[in-house]
């Protein structure tokens, strides 16, 4: 895990923060996401039909997006932070489907660190890669604010 002091976070702008460990996308995780969101489309949860019609079930795009905090949790520790909040996203693109059984990881790059509301607003480019695939599953610009 990379570590930086709150006062020095701007020194990382333009740099890759790190790459997460691989995480397998299981059918159980997909089913739990479907339950939590109410999105029970057959391409995600009907294993038999999805296998017959599209080669197997795929993860929800928003499931992939929702993994960003989990995958990024061990990439960067900012010392001196009292709290942090998610502020939103500027751009999200789902560029490839994630089939159940595949593994994904995240590559994170700090794009900006600017003063905001008494804290520092961080904009990160988060790329969710699929093991063995050339195209990533998702590329998102996420925004958070940290306070020292």
Token pair of 105 as six digits: 């990881």
Q: Can you give the pLDDT at residue 73?
A: 92
Q: Can you give the pLDDT at residue 42?
A: 98
CA–CA dist 62, 65 (Å, integer): 5
Q: Can you give the pLDDT at residue 116?
A: 92
Q: Can you give the pLDDT at residue 68?
A: 97
CA–CA dist 32, 84 (Å, integer): 27
Q: Which CATH number fits domain 2-25+59-147: 3.10.129.10, 3.40.640.10, 3.20.20.110, 2.30.40.10?
A: 3.10.129.10
Q: What is the pTM of this model?
A: 0.93
Domain boundaries, the chain: 2-25+59-147
3-state secondary structure of 137: coil
Residue 136 phi, psi dihedral angles, 5° rounding = -70, 165
Q: Which helix (H) or strand (E) holds 95?
A: none
Q: Which residues of the chain have pLDDT under 50?
A: none
The proportion of the chain whose per-residue pLDDT surpasses 90, expressed as a percent, equals 99
Gyration radius from the chain CA atoms: 17
Nearest to 10 by CA among 132, 128, 123, 126: 123
Q: Do residues 58 and 50 touch, judged by C-beta distance below 8 A? A: yes
Q: Which helix (H) or strand (E) holds 133?
A: none
Q: Can you give the pLDDT at residue 19?
A: 98
């Amino acid at each position: 895990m990379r570590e930086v002091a709150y006062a020095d976070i701007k020194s990382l702008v333009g740099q890759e923060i790190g790459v997460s460990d691989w995480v397998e996308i299981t059918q159980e995780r997909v089913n739990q996401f479907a339950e939590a969101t109410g999105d029970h489309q057959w391409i995600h949860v009907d294993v038999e039909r999805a296998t017959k019609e599209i080669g197997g079930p795929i993860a929800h795009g928003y499931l992939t997006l929702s993994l960003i905090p989990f995958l990024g949790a061990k990439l960067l520790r900012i010392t001196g932070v009292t709290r942090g909040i998610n502020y939103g996203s500027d751009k999200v693109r789902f560029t490839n489907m994630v089939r159940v059984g595949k593994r994904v990881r995240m590559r994170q790059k700090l794009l900006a660190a600017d003063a905001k509301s008494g804290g520092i607003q961080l904009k990160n480019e988060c790329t969710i890669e699929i093991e063995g695939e050339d195209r990533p599953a998702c590329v998102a610009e996420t925004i958070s604010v940290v306070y020292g």
